[in-house]
Chains A and B, each alone.
Chain A
Amino acid sequence: MVYQKDSRVLENIRLGKDCFKLIFSAPEIVKQSQAGNFVHIQVNPFTFPLLRRAFSIHEVNRQKGSLEVVFKVIGTGTEHLSHKKKGDTVNLLGPLGKIFSYPDREDISIMIAGGLGIVPVYFLTRDLLRKKHRGKIYFLYGAKEKDQLYCLSDTRKLPRGKVETLYSTDDGSYGFTGYLDALLKQVLKKEDKNKVKIYACGPEGLLAKLSHLAKDENLFCQLSLEVGMPCGMGTCMGCVVKYKPDCNSPVTFKRVCCEGPVFKAQEVILD
């Protein structure tokens, strides 16, 4: 069930220079939300910016009926959102999109969080912890530099005994020096590849590398893709990704909003 609701802003927290966390009261949406889902937010009631903006859900509080989104100011829409104050009302549409396929207890889950791509995999991790998931979880969080690890305060709270959190920065200012795919390869050396389930979100370059890696090594890997979505409901056909489920199939197009945003890494073609 999808809901369209005017939702109250409970809090707007600045996480960094241009990065914000908005917490909304949206009980109906929260009740239905699972990791990988997104909400489509009308940033203002005017004609500019006209279209809604899609945000993966970062975290929910099912008792309070609240949900969190995290975003960086990259244009007019996010600029408007960054000015929202406690008590403001914003129209939310959701939960939308296909979710991650949750791991089984014997699986080894590896979360790959590239920059703000942390959002959906953080939700998945938190949801697994809430569900008292017994399987091993790695959480690999990377960014260009330490200042861009915007959700550090969240990942530091992940319980050490249950989640092994590893960091990487391109400039070496925090954790491993280098890209996340290199860090992933180190982890993979230690684990049984047949039991590994990789869940990733982040910049397209990272996801393209993971897509190739998953193909080459025959790994289970799901990617959450980010593209502009006019409708978010599967009607405008505007948000497609190139799709090729196997080498014998022709390239077709799938809608990221409703046939994704979570796809098997092997099945999408990322340029």
Chain B
Amino acid sequence: MVRQGQSKKVDLSLEIAGVKFENPVMVASGTFGYGKEYADVVDLNKIGAVISKTLTIVPRDGHPPLRTFETPSGMLNAIGLHNIGVDNFINDKMKFLRSKKTKVIANIAGSTIEEYVQVAEKLNSAEGLHMLEINISSPNVKRGCMEFGSRADLTYECVKAVKNVSKYPVMPKLSPNVTDIVEIALACQEAGADCISLINTLVGMAIDWKKKKPVLSNITGGLSGPAIKPVALAMVWKVYQKIKVPLIGVGGIMNTQDAVEFFLAGASAIQVGTVNYVDPQASVKIVEGLKKYCQENKISSIKELIGMAQPSPI
């Protein structure tokens, strides 16, 4: 018998390729730094996973200003992979991250497939790491990333190469800026991806009508935030129907309701991104919100929600 005031326990945990996440809420790459930046205001122990800013083989300086611009219910960014490099991440950032209960995922990128492989190899020595997310989807660099992620053959080659050298499960992150995202997801699955995250930002731009020039120094940027949520949701829905590996839904999730919609569409876990800028505590609030939603809907495990809105197989 459940005593009054004591709520029934909800199982929010999930396991992907042997990695057990306490809950299915992750903070998306590029929106949470290397974790420590938010430690004053967010209890990292309560987040399923922290995904690092994209790491490259050497530190990168990124694009000149202006790099970001707010748009209706969204924002554009063209950072250009400004990051501290994989060595500094291992030496300076991992100690703090491994002291927390959260799982740690390193997001990696390169200009060539060899660079992806080099970063992955280096991370094999990072104690306390749990998974790699492969950035084949940033729209803001001339070489690498979306260049690979927009072609199924190059996606396969890149994911396979990383998978071959990494001791961790791998999660390619897909771009929405493709003709058929299912084709790219299938290439990832075939190459041995353990799970797939989708979506990265949508290519967009803004023009300053007074200066009569593009706002961003890179001209185009990636659109994120609640404006892109319906696009992300539709892509998770579509990919879920053809793919066996777990999907991690990301794109414009602001609150529990948005998160639940992604589970119903077929996501096994979710990432929150832009909302971290608005409310750093959003991820923790969503974890609590998911518990409450499951209790209210008499759901004992979050796994029951995955794909629940999808048509039942005949």
Contacts and interface: CB of A to CB of B under 8 A. Distances in A.
B67 A238 contact: yes
Interface in A2-53: 2-4, 42, 47-52
A47 B70 contact: no
Contacts of A48: 72-73
Interface string B70-87: 101111010100100000
Contact of A3 (B40, B225, B278): B40
Nearest to B78: A238
Interface in A224-271: 227-228, 230-242, 252-253, 258
Contacts of A227: 65
A71 B74 CA distance: 23
Contacts of B64: 240, 242, 253
B37 A235 contact: yes
A2 B75 contact: no
A1 interface: yes
B89 to A, nearest CB: 14
Contacts of B278: 42, 50-52
A8 B306 CA distance: 40
B214 interface: no
Given A1-B40, A50-B226, A233 B67 contact: no
A47 B41 contact: no
Contacts of A4: 41, 279-281
A230 B75 contact: yes
B240 interface: no
Contact of A237 (B67, B69, B225, B227): B67
A4 B284 CA distance: 14
Nearest to A2: B40
Interface string B31-62: 11100011011000000000001000000011
A236 B65 contact: no
Contact of B79 (A228, A238, A252): A238
A49 B70 contact: yes
A50 B73 contact: yes
A139 to B, nearest CB: 30
Given A51-B75, A242-B65, A253-B61, A235 B70 contact: no
Contact of A233 (B37, B70, B82): B37
Contacts of A51: 70, 75, 277-278
Contacts of A165: none
A235 B33 contact: yes
Interchain residue pairs A-B with the least CB separation, the first 9? A238-B68, A235-B33, A2-B40, A47-B73, A231-B277, A4-B41, A237-B82, A47-B226, A230-B277
Given A52-B277, A228-B69, A236-B277, 12 more contacts: A4-B41, A47-B227, A48-B73, A50-B73, A50-B226, A91-B279, A230-B68, A235-B37, A236-B68, A238-B77, A240-B67, A242-B64
30 contacts: A1-B40, A2-B41, A3-B40, A4-B279, A4-B281, A42-B278, A47-B254, A48-B73, A49-B70, A50-B70, A50-B73, A50-B75, A50-B278, A51-B70, A51-B277, A51-B278, A52-B277, A233-B37, A233-B38, A235-B31, A235-B38, A236-B30, A236-B77, A237-B62, A238-B77, A239-B67, A240-B65, A241-B65, A253-B65, A258-B37
